[in-house]
Amino acid sequence: MDILERIVIDKRKEVALRKTLIPVTQLEQSILFERETVSLAKQLRGSHSGIIAEHKRRSPSKAIINQDFNVFDVAKGYEDAGVSGMSVLTDTKYFGGSLDDLLTARASCDLPLLRKEFIIDEYQILEAKAYGADVILLIAAILSKSEIKQFSEFAKQLHLDVLLEVHNEEELQKSIMPSLDMLGVNNRNLKTFDVSLETSKTLSTLIPDDFMKVSESGISSVEAIRELKAYGYKGFLIGENFMKTDNAGESAKQFIEQLK
């Protein structure tokens, strides 16, 4: 069994438990549920850098990246640096994140926030909205075509942007539908954890122009972004590169300065 399959098995158990603890009505009564969301896709369209900076404590491939930062400082730092949006990992077991991280980020900045999570149930989309997210991530590798349609249409009803992540052509072909705002290409092979920007380059020509193209994973240099922009990418998800430094916000700021 690969890591993704293990995560999904654990996620199903986790979501089943959460549903018994916090009913849907309680999520819908959250103050943030009424908040007007900010479109990340629109932000990327008008952005020079296109950086979506991530808060990420650890990962299955890298173990601990940074346990010392608090989310408040990271979110403020990213906003001051001029990023287009912020991604917050909310998976606890494998990434050390939580929904409270999303809540803290929401309280500390006005950036569009992406809930980075392994979504396998509509309940998690309601959670995203209730905890202050503007965008959800759907991962094609763990969802059927009908699930992608169901979840993305549900997210749109809640005024959330949808970023759909693919790893190969097969996933991309089953995923293209009007209820998505952004198509993200993950350069990391989730079975082997190898990273190659060639994945983004190869798939770029197959993504219709009406979707915002986002490249994810393994982006650590300004050169990589310049290269990917030539292939039509407008968004770049960067986590580890900033999180492994002493000051994520400052690191993002310097990176964006270099892009100018």
Which residues are identified as catalytic?
A: 54, 56, 116, 165, 186, 216-217
Distance, in Å, from the CA atom of 167 to the CA atom of 218, rounded to the nearest integer, reads 13
Residue 201 DSSP class: H
Q: Which residue has the tokens 């990992």?
A: 89
Long-range contacts of 170-173 (CB under 8 A, 24+ apart): 171/140, 171/141, 172/140, 172/203, 172/206, 172/207, 173/206
Q: How far is CA 163 from CA 73, 98, 114, 151, 185, in A?
A: 25, 20, 9, 11, 10
Exposure string of 157-192, with b = 16+ CB inside 10 Å and e = fewer, is: ebebbbbbbbbeeebbeebbeebbbbbbbbbbebee
Residue 37 DSSP class: P
Nearest to 114 by CA among 88, 151, 80, 93: 88
Total residue count of the chain as it appears in this document: 260
